[in-house]
Amino acid sequence: MKGIFKRVVMLMAMTGFIVSLSACGPNGSGTSENGGSAVPAAPEKVYRWKLITTWPKNLPGLGTGPERLAEKLRVMSRGRLDIKVYGAGELVGPFEVFDAVSQGTAEMGHGAAYYWRGKIPIAAMFSTVPFGMNAQEMNGWLAYGGGMELWRELYEPFGLIPFAAGNTGVQMAGWFNKEINSLSDLEGVKMRIPGLGGEVLKRAGGIPVALPGSEVFTSLQTGVIDATEWVGPYNDLAFALHTVAKYYYYPGWHEPGPTLEAIVNKNAWESLPEDLQVMIEVASRSVNDDMLSEFTARNNAALRTLVDEHGVELRRLPDDVIAALKTASLEVVAEAASTDELSQRIYDSYMAFLADVRAYHEISEQEYVNIR
Protein backbone atom coordinates (compact mmCIF):
# COMPACT_ATOMS: atom_id res chain seq x y z
CA MET A 1 0.00 0.00 0.00
CA LYS A 2 2.86 2.37 0.85
CA GLY A 3 4.26 1.87 -2.68
CA ILE A 4 0.92 2.65 -4.37
CA PHE A 5 0.43 5.75 -2.20
CA LYS A 6 3.91 7.00 -3.09
CA ARG A 7 3.22 6.59 -6.84
CA VAL A 8 -0.11 8.51 -6.57
CA VAL A 9 1.59 11.36 -4.76
CA MET A 10 4.31 11.50 -7.39
CA LEU A 11 1.67 11.50 -10.21
CA MET A 12 -0.24 14.34 -8.55
CA ALA A 13 2.91 16.33 -8.17
CA MET A 14 3.85 15.82 -11.81
CA THR A 15 0.31 16.77 -12.99
CA GLY A 16 0.40 19.92 -10.91
CA PHE A 17 3.74 20.80 -12.41
CA ILE A 18 2.41 20.32 -15.98
CA VAL A 19 -0.67 22.44 -15.27
CA SER A 20 1.47 25.19 -13.80
CA LEU A 21 3.61 25.16 -16.93
CA SER A 22 0.56 25.35 -19.21
CA ALA A 23 -0.47 28.56 -17.47
CA CYS A 24 2.84 30.08 -18.46
CA GLY A 25 3.98 31.23 -21.84
CA PRO A 26 5.75 28.95 -24.32
CA ASN A 27 8.98 29.34 -22.41
CA GLY A 28 7.34 28.43 -19.09
CA SER A 29 7.90 31.89 -17.65
CA GLY A 30 4.38 33.38 -17.98
CA THR A 31 5.42 35.42 -21.01
CA SER A 32 5.39 34.79 -24.73
CA GLU A 33 8.63 34.21 -26.60
CA ASN A 34 8.81 37.89 -27.56
CA GLY A 35 8.54 38.90 -23.93
CA GLY A 36 4.87 39.98 -23.92
CA SER A 37 2.31 38.69 -21.44
CA ALA A 38 -0.03 35.92 -22.66
CA VAL A 39 -3.57 37.42 -22.68
CA PRO A 40 -6.62 35.10 -23.04
CA ALA A 41 -8.95 35.93 -25.94
CA ALA A 42 -12.00 37.98 -24.95
CA PRO A 43 -15.35 36.17 -25.37
CA GLU A 44 -17.17 37.12 -28.56
CA LYS A 45 -20.23 39.33 -28.18
CA VAL A 46 -23.63 37.67 -28.54
CA TYR A 47 -26.40 39.67 -30.22
CA ARG A 48 -29.83 38.64 -28.93
CA TRP A 49 -32.54 39.73 -31.35
CA LYS A 50 -36.29 39.45 -31.67
CA LEU A 51 -37.81 38.55 -35.07
CA ILE A 52 -41.55 39.29 -35.41
CA THR A 53 -43.69 37.97 -38.24
CA THR A 54 -47.04 38.53 -39.93
CA TRP A 55 -47.61 34.76 -40.09
CA PRO A 56 -49.03 32.22 -37.64
CA LYS A 57 -46.11 30.50 -35.96
CA ASN A 58 -44.83 27.40 -37.74
CA LEU A 59 -47.39 27.60 -40.58
CA PRO A 60 -45.90 25.39 -43.33
CA GLY A 61 -43.86 27.49 -45.73
CA LEU A 62 -44.67 31.02 -44.61
CA GLY A 63 -44.35 30.46 -40.87
CA THR A 64 -41.43 28.07 -40.97
CA GLY A 65 -39.41 30.40 -43.22
CA PRO A 66 -38.54 32.85 -40.41
CA GLU A 67 -37.72 29.93 -38.11
CA ARG A 68 -35.28 28.54 -40.68
CA LEU A 69 -33.75 31.97 -41.13
CA ALA A 70 -33.11 32.33 -37.39
CA GLU A 71 -31.69 28.81 -37.14
CA LYS A 72 -29.35 29.27 -40.10
CA LEU A 73 -28.01 32.49 -38.59
CA ARG A 74 -27.51 30.86 -35.20
CA VAL A 75 -25.48 28.05 -36.74
CA MET A 76 -23.53 30.22 -39.19
CA SER A 77 -22.58 32.69 -36.47
CA ARG A 78 -21.72 29.96 -33.93
CA GLY A 79 -24.33 31.41 -31.60
CA ARG A 80 -23.19 35.03 -31.88
CA LEU A 81 -26.51 35.99 -33.50
CA ASP A 82 -29.23 34.49 -31.30
CA ILE A 83 -32.69 35.29 -32.72
CA LYS A 84 -36.03 34.44 -31.09
CA VAL A 85 -38.97 34.25 -33.50
CA TYR A 86 -42.43 35.52 -32.56
CA GLY A 87 -45.49 34.56 -34.59
CA ALA A 88 -48.28 36.96 -35.52
CA GLY A 89 -49.88 38.45 -32.42
CA GLU A 90 -47.33 37.09 -29.93
CA LEU A 91 -45.44 40.36 -29.54
CA VAL A 92 -47.25 42.73 -31.93
CA GLY A 93 -50.16 42.40 -34.32
CA PRO A 94 -49.47 40.97 -37.80
CA PHE A 95 -49.98 44.34 -39.51
CA GLU A 96 -47.78 46.15 -36.96
CA VAL A 97 -44.53 44.43 -37.92
CA PHE A 98 -43.24 47.24 -40.15
CA ASP A 99 -43.71 49.96 -37.52
CA ALA A 100 -42.43 47.79 -34.67
CA VAL A 101 -39.14 47.04 -36.42
CA SER A 102 -38.83 50.65 -37.57
CA GLN A 103 -39.23 51.84 -33.96
CA GLY A 104 -36.83 49.22 -32.57
CA THR A 105 -39.41 47.16 -30.66
CA ALA A 106 -37.83 44.22 -32.49
CA GLU A 107 -34.61 44.12 -34.46
CA MET A 108 -36.03 42.09 -37.32
CA GLY A 109 -39.32 41.28 -39.03
CA HIS A 110 -40.71 38.95 -41.69
CA GLY A 111 -43.74 39.71 -43.84
CA ALA A 112 -44.77 41.01 -47.25
CA ALA A 113 -44.32 44.54 -48.56
CA TYR A 114 -47.91 44.82 -49.81
CA TYR A 115 -49.13 44.84 -46.20
CA TRP A 116 -47.63 48.32 -45.82
CA ARG A 117 -49.41 49.74 -48.88
CA GLY A 118 -51.48 52.09 -46.70
CA LYS A 119 -48.24 53.67 -45.51
CA ILE A 120 -46.21 53.37 -48.73
CA PRO A 121 -48.46 52.77 -51.77
CA ILE A 122 -45.63 51.72 -54.09
CA ALA A 123 -44.21 49.20 -51.58
CA ALA A 124 -46.47 46.50 -53.02
CA MET A 125 -44.33 46.35 -56.15
CA PHE A 126 -41.56 44.77 -54.07
CA SER A 127 -43.89 41.93 -53.16
CA THR A 128 -46.07 41.28 -56.19
CA VAL A 129 -47.90 43.00 -59.02
CA PRO A 130 -51.08 41.62 -60.59
CA PHE A 131 -50.21 40.11 -63.98
CA GLY A 132 -46.58 41.02 -63.26
CA MET A 133 -43.36 39.12 -62.71
CA ASN A 134 -43.13 35.58 -61.42
CA ALA A 135 -40.73 34.48 -58.68
CA GLN A 136 -37.78 33.84 -60.96
CA GLU A 137 -38.22 37.21 -62.65
CA MET A 138 -38.60 39.06 -59.34
CA ASN A 139 -35.36 37.54 -58.10
CA GLY A 140 -33.65 38.70 -61.28
CA TRP A 141 -34.96 42.25 -60.95
CA LEU A 142 -34.01 42.55 -57.29
CA ALA A 143 -30.54 41.06 -57.62
CA TYR A 144 -29.44 42.26 -61.05
CA GLY A 145 -32.00 44.78 -62.32
CA GLY A 146 -31.64 47.55 -59.73
CA GLY A 147 -34.71 46.52 -57.75
CA MET A 148 -32.94 45.95 -54.43
CA GLU A 149 -31.27 49.36 -54.50
CA LEU A 150 -34.66 51.01 -55.06
CA TRP A 151 -36.25 48.92 -52.30
CA ARG A 152 -33.62 50.03 -49.81
CA GLU A 153 -33.99 53.64 -50.90
CA LEU A 154 -37.74 53.39 -50.30
CA TYR A 155 -37.34 51.96 -46.78
CA GLU A 156 -34.39 54.17 -45.77
CA PRO A 157 -36.55 56.99 -44.26
CA PHE A 158 -38.13 54.40 -41.97
CA GLY A 159 -34.77 53.14 -40.68
CA LEU A 160 -35.24 49.72 -42.27
CA ILE A 161 -33.10 47.50 -44.49
CA PRO A 162 -35.07 44.94 -46.58
CA PHE A 163 -34.03 41.54 -47.92
CA ALA A 164 -35.90 39.10 -50.14
CA ALA A 165 -36.65 36.16 -47.85
CA GLY A 166 -39.23 33.85 -49.38
CA ASN A 167 -41.55 33.28 -52.31
CA THR A 168 -44.56 31.03 -52.84
CA GLY A 169 -44.55 31.07 -56.63
CA VAL A 170 -47.77 31.66 -58.58
CA GLN A 171 -50.71 31.49 -56.19
CA MET A 172 -54.32 30.42 -56.66
CA ALA A 173 -57.09 32.94 -57.41
CA GLY A 174 -58.85 31.91 -54.22
CA TRP A 175 -61.79 30.24 -52.49
CA PHE A 176 -65.37 31.28 -53.25
CA ASN A 177 -68.75 30.29 -51.89
CA LYS A 178 -70.41 31.15 -55.18
CA GLU A 179 -69.58 30.37 -58.78
CA ILE A 180 -67.86 33.03 -60.86
CA ASN A 181 -69.21 32.61 -64.38
CA SER A 182 -68.95 36.22 -65.53
CA LEU A 183 -67.67 39.61 -64.42
CA SER A 184 -71.05 40.46 -62.91
CA ASP A 185 -70.63 37.62 -60.40
CA LEU A 186 -67.85 39.62 -58.70
CA GLU A 187 -70.22 42.47 -57.94
CA GLY A 188 -70.48 42.97 -54.19
CA VAL A 189 -68.31 39.96 -53.31
CA LYS A 190 -66.47 40.60 -50.03
CA MET A 191 -63.06 39.05 -50.47
CA ARG A 192 -59.95 38.94 -48.34
CA ILE A 193 -57.27 40.13 -50.76
CA PRO A 194 -54.33 42.45 -49.94
CA GLY A 195 -52.09 44.78 -51.92
CA LEU A 196 -52.67 46.05 -55.42
CA GLY A 197 -54.88 43.04 -56.10
CA GLY A 198 -57.41 44.36 -53.60
CA GLU A 199 -57.70 47.67 -55.45
CA VAL A 200 -58.08 45.84 -58.76
CA LEU A 201 -60.91 43.72 -57.32
CA LYS A 202 -62.61 46.88 -56.09
CA ARG A 203 -62.62 48.34 -59.60
CA ALA A 204 -64.11 45.12 -60.90
CA GLY A 205 -67.04 45.48 -58.49
CA GLY A 206 -65.80 43.46 -55.52
CA ILE A 207 -65.18 44.58 -51.94
CA PRO A 208 -61.60 43.94 -50.74
CA VAL A 209 -61.16 43.18 -47.05
CA ALA A 210 -57.83 43.36 -45.20
CA LEU A 211 -57.38 40.43 -42.86
CA PRO A 212 -54.31 38.72 -41.37
CA GLY A 213 -53.92 35.03 -42.02
CA SER A 214 -55.03 34.08 -38.52
CA GLU A 215 -58.53 35.49 -39.19
CA VAL A 216 -59.15 34.10 -42.66
CA PHE A 217 -60.77 30.78 -41.73
CA THR A 218 -63.18 32.16 -39.15
CA SER A 219 -64.15 35.11 -41.32
CA LEU A 220 -65.02 32.83 -44.24
CA GLN A 221 -66.79 30.35 -41.97
CA THR A 222 -69.01 33.00 -40.36
CA GLY A 223 -69.80 34.90 -43.56
CA VAL A 224 -67.82 38.02 -42.71
CA ILE A 225 -66.29 37.49 -46.15
CA ASP A 226 -67.63 35.62 -49.19
CA ALA A 227 -64.27 34.65 -50.63
CA THR A 228 -60.59 34.67 -49.83
CA GLU A 229 -57.25 34.22 -51.45
CA TRP A 230 -54.54 32.87 -49.21
CA VAL A 231 -51.60 31.20 -50.94
CA GLY A 232 -51.97 27.90 -52.76
CA PRO A 233 -52.80 24.24 -52.10
CA TYR A 234 -49.94 23.55 -49.67
CA ASN A 235 -50.88 26.36 -47.27
CA ASP A 236 -54.61 26.34 -48.03
CA LEU A 237 -54.90 22.68 -47.08
CA ALA A 238 -53.09 23.40 -43.79
CA PHE A 239 -55.66 26.16 -43.13
CA ALA A 240 -58.53 23.73 -43.93
CA LEU A 241 -60.13 26.32 -46.20
CA HIS A 242 -61.80 23.50 -48.13
CA THR A 243 -64.12 22.99 -45.15
CA VAL A 244 -65.59 26.49 -45.42
CA ALA A 245 -65.64 27.13 -49.18
CA LYS A 246 -66.63 25.01 -52.15
CA TYR A 247 -65.04 26.51 -55.25
CA TYR A 248 -61.28 26.83 -55.76
CA TYR A 249 -60.33 29.16 -58.61
CA TYR A 250 -57.18 29.66 -60.65
CA PRO A 251 -55.00 31.29 -62.04
CA GLY A 252 -53.53 33.53 -59.35
CA TRP A 253 -53.63 36.73 -61.40
CA HIS A 254 -53.11 38.91 -58.32
CA GLU A 255 -49.94 37.23 -56.96
CA PRO A 256 -47.83 35.69 -59.73
CA GLY A 257 -44.60 35.70 -57.72
CA PRO A 258 -44.97 37.23 -54.25
CA THR A 259 -41.62 38.03 -52.67
CA LEU A 260 -41.61 37.93 -48.88
CA GLU A 261 -39.29 40.21 -46.97
CA ALA A 262 -37.00 40.19 -43.98
CA ILE A 263 -36.60 43.71 -42.61
CA VAL A 264 -33.85 44.76 -40.22
CA ASN A 265 -33.79 47.84 -38.02
CA LYS A 266 -31.00 50.05 -39.36
CA ASN A 267 -29.47 50.81 -35.95
CA ALA A 268 -29.42 47.13 -35.10
CA TRP A 269 -27.86 46.39 -38.48
CA GLU A 270 -25.12 48.96 -38.01
CA SER A 271 -24.29 47.54 -34.57
CA LEU A 272 -23.26 44.24 -36.17
CA PRO A 273 -19.74 43.41 -37.34
CA GLU A 274 -19.39 42.98 -41.08
CA ASP A 275 -19.27 39.18 -41.02
CA LEU A 276 -22.68 38.96 -39.31
CA GLN A 277 -24.15 41.42 -41.79
CA VAL A 278 -22.98 39.21 -44.64
CA MET A 279 -24.46 36.18 -42.91
CA ILE A 280 -27.88 37.85 -42.82
CA GLU A 281 -27.65 38.57 -46.54
CA VAL A 282 -26.62 34.99 -47.34
CA ALA A 283 -29.15 33.35 -45.02
CA SER A 284 -31.99 35.50 -46.40
CA ARG A 285 -31.14 34.51 -49.94
CA SER A 286 -31.01 30.87 -48.88
CA VAL A 287 -34.45 31.05 -47.27
CA ASN A 288 -35.79 32.93 -50.30
CA ASP A 289 -34.77 30.02 -52.55
CA ASP A 290 -35.72 27.31 -50.06
CA MET A 291 -39.30 28.48 -49.59
CA LEU A 292 -39.97 28.55 -53.32
CA SER A 293 -38.52 25.05 -53.62
CA GLU A 294 -40.76 23.82 -50.81
CA PHE A 295 -43.95 25.18 -52.39
CA THR A 296 -42.90 23.79 -55.78
CA ALA A 297 -42.44 20.36 -54.25
CA ARG A 298 -45.61 20.30 -52.12
CA ASN A 299 -48.35 22.12 -54.04
CA ASN A 300 -49.52 19.44 -56.45
CA ALA A 301 -49.79 16.70 -53.83
CA ALA A 302 -51.85 19.07 -51.69
CA LEU A 303 -54.06 19.96 -54.66
CA ARG A 304 -54.71 16.29 -55.37
CA THR A 305 -55.71 15.82 -51.73
CA LEU A 306 -58.13 18.75 -51.94
CA VAL A 307 -59.74 17.54 -55.15
CA ASP A 308 -59.60 13.75 -54.84
CA GLU A 309 -60.15 13.31 -51.10
CA HIS A 310 -62.19 16.39 -50.13
CA GLY A 311 -64.20 16.94 -53.29
CA VAL A 312 -63.10 20.52 -53.91
CA GLU A 313 -64.36 21.91 -57.22
CA LEU A 314 -61.41 23.30 -59.15
CA ARG A 315 -62.43 26.06 -61.54
CA ARG A 316 -60.71 28.43 -63.98
CA LEU A 317 -61.74 32.08 -63.97
CA PRO A 318 -63.63 32.98 -67.16
CA ASP A 319 -61.69 34.81 -69.87
CA ASP A 320 -63.81 37.97 -69.60
CA VAL A 321 -63.14 38.18 -65.86
CA ILE A 322 -59.39 37.81 -66.41
CA ALA A 323 -59.45 40.44 -69.17
CA ALA A 324 -61.31 42.95 -66.98
CA LEU A 325 -58.98 42.37 -64.04
CA LYS A 326 -55.94 42.85 -66.28
CA THR A 327 -57.23 46.17 -67.62
CA ALA A 328 -57.93 47.42 -64.10
CA SER A 329 -54.52 46.22 -62.95
CA LEU A 330 -52.67 48.35 -65.50
CA GLU A 331 -54.56 51.41 -64.25
CA VAL A 332 -54.03 50.69 -60.54
CA VAL A 333 -50.29 50.08 -60.84
CA ALA A 334 -49.73 53.20 -62.97
CA GLU A 335 -51.63 55.33 -60.45
CA ALA A 336 -49.55 54.00 -57.55
CA ALA A 337 -46.46 55.16 -59.43
CA SER A 338 -47.72 58.71 -59.89
CA THR A 339 -47.59 59.70 -56.22
CA ASP A 340 -43.95 60.86 -56.15
CA GLU A 341 -40.64 60.80 -57.99
CA LEU A 342 -39.24 57.68 -56.27
CA SER A 343 -42.44 55.75 -56.91
CA GLN A 344 -42.20 56.64 -60.58
CA ARG A 345 -38.60 55.42 -60.74
CA ILE A 346 -39.59 52.14 -59.10
CA TYR A 347 -42.45 51.69 -61.55
CA ASP A 348 -40.27 52.51 -64.55
CA SER A 349 -37.56 50.09 -63.42
CA TYR A 350 -40.05 47.28 -62.76
CA MET A 351 -41.90 47.68 -66.04
CA ALA A 352 -38.73 47.93 -68.11
CA PHE A 353 -37.33 44.76 -66.55
CA LEU A 354 -40.67 42.97 -67.03
CA ALA A 355 -40.76 43.86 -70.72
CA ASP A 356 -37.20 42.70 -71.21
CA VAL A 357 -37.47 39.40 -69.35
CA ARG A 358 -40.89 38.63 -70.83
CA ALA A 359 -39.50 38.94 -74.35
CA TYR A 360 -36.91 36.29 -73.62
CA HIS A 361 -39.20 34.02 -71.60
CA GLU A 362 -41.70 33.90 -74.45
CA ILE A 363 -39.12 31.99 -76.49
CA SER A 364 -37.55 30.09 -73.59
CA GLU A 365 -39.60 29.24 -70.48
CA GLN A 366 -43.03 29.63 -72.07
CA GLU A 367 -42.19 27.78 -75.26
CA TYR A 368 -40.56 24.97 -73.32
CA VAL A 369 -43.66 24.50 -71.15
CA ASN A 370 -45.79 24.51 -74.30
CA ILE A 371 -43.78 21.76 -76.00
CA ARG A 372 -43.27 19.68 -72.88
Together in a domain, 197 and 284: no
- Mention every residue, 6+ apart, whose C-beta is less than 8 A from residue 92: 52, 86, 100, 105, 106
**Residue 367 belongs to some domain of the structure:** no
What's the pLDDT score for residue 8?
Answer: 36
d(CA 11, CA 4): 11
**Residue 366 belongs to some domain of the structure:** no
Q: What is the pLDDT of residues 131-148, one digit of tens each?
A: 999 999 999 999 999 999
**Residue 19 belongs to some domain of the structure:** no
Q: Is the pLDDT of residue 55 over 90?
A: yes
Together in a domain, 130 and 189: no
Q: What is the pLDDT of residues 288-342, one digit of tens each?
A: 999 999 999 999 999 999 999 999 999 999 999 999 999 999 999 999 999 999 9
Together in a domain, 248 and 330: yes
Q: Tell me which of 34-38, 163-167, 186-190, 277-281 is least confident.
A: 34-38
Together in a domain, 152 and 265: yes
Together in a domain, 115 and 228: no
**Residue 292 belongs to some domain of the structure:** yes
Q: Which residue range(s) make up the domain with 310? A: 174-256+304-336
pTM: 0.87
Rounded mean pLDDT of the chain? 91
Together in a domain, 61 and 81: yes
d(CA 303, CA 290): 20
Q: What is the pLDDT of residues 18-37, one digit of tens each?
A: 333 333 344 444 444 444 55
- Name the residue type at position 156: E
Together in a domain, 272 and 134: yes
Q: Is the pLDDT of residue 150 over 90?
A: yes
Residue 8 or 369, more confident: 369
Binned at pLDDT 50, 70 and 90, residue 38 comes out as low
Together in a domain, 193 and 250: yes
State which of 296, 316, 346 marks the end of a domain: 296
Total domains in the chain come to 2
Q: Is the pLDDT of residue 39 over 70?
A: no
